[in-house]
């Protein structure tokens, strides 16, 4: 494969170097996506020591990535775990998310999450 693809009128040469710029961080079998679903991508920024949202669940699956800091993450039926910056997380639809807070007291935690649901609802919080 050549390093530069042929140029058409008015376009700059296209390098193939973009292929080495891609890193797969998460690959899962596609879950059930509700009919009429929309994909919404959000950024969550928790200050140092923030406990995160209260226990909740979402109607569609979530695929996320920690951009900065560490998130303590606990889903229904799983032990709590720390997800550091550079790692991905997945939340199946309907499963209770017990923890998603900042694991550090001295720095913020920033993550991005893509939600596929019929509509974006901040979360269905569980009664305590």
- Give percent above pLDDT 90 in the chain: 51
The reported pTM is 0.75
CATH superfamily of 43-120: Jelly Rolls (2.60.120.10)
Task: Tell me the two tokens of residue 106.
Answer: 């001295």
pLDDT (0 to 100) of residue 120: 54
Summarised one tens digit per residue, pLDDT across range 5-48 is: 555 666 676 778 777 877 888 888 877 777 788 888 999 999 99
DSSP characters over 25-66? ----------TT-EEEEEEEEEPTT---SPSEE-SS-EEEEE
């Amino acid at each position: 494969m050549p390093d530069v693809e042929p140029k058409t009128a008015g376009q700059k040469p296209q390098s193939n170097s973009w292929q080495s710029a891609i890193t797969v961080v998460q690959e899962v079998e596609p879950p059930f996506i509700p009919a009429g679903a929309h994909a919404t991508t959000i950024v969550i920024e928790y200050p140092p020591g923030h406990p995160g949202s209260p226990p909740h669940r979402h109607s569609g699956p979530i695929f996320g990535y920690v951009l900065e800091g560490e998130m303590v993450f606990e889903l229904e039926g799983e032990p709590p775990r720390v997800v550091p910056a550079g790692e991905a997380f997945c939340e199946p639809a309907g499963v209770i998310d017990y923890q998603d807070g900042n694991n550090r007291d001295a720095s913020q935690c920033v993550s991005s999450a893509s939600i596929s649901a019929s509509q974006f609802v901040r979360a269905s919080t569980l009664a305590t």
